[in-house]
Amino acid sequence: MDIDKLTLGEAKQLAAMFSGKSDDSHWQVGKTYFIRTVTHHLVGDLIKVTDKELVLKDAAWIADDGRLGDTIKTLDFNEIEPYPVGAEVIVGRGSLIDAIVISKKDWVQK
Distance, in Å, from the CA atom of 75 to the CA atom of 84, rounded to the nearest integer, reads: 21
What one-character DSSP code corresponds to residue 6? -
Could you list the pLDDT tens digit for every one of the 110 residues in the chain? 677 877 888 877 777 767 666 677 899 999 999 999 999 899 999 999 999 999 999 999 999 989 999 988 899 899 999 999 999 999 999 999 999 999 887 766 55
Distances (CA, A) of 39 to 26, 50, 51, 91, 100: 23, 21, 20, 11, 17
Which residues on neighbouring strands pair with residue 91, listed in sequence order?
Answer: 54
Distance, in Å, from the CA atom of 15 to the CA atom of 29, rounded to the nearest integer, reads: 27
Give 109's Cβ-side CA count (13 Å radius). 15
Domain-wise residue ranges, the chain: 22-106
Write down the pTM of the prediction: 0.77
> In CATH, what number does 22-106 get?
2.30.30.100
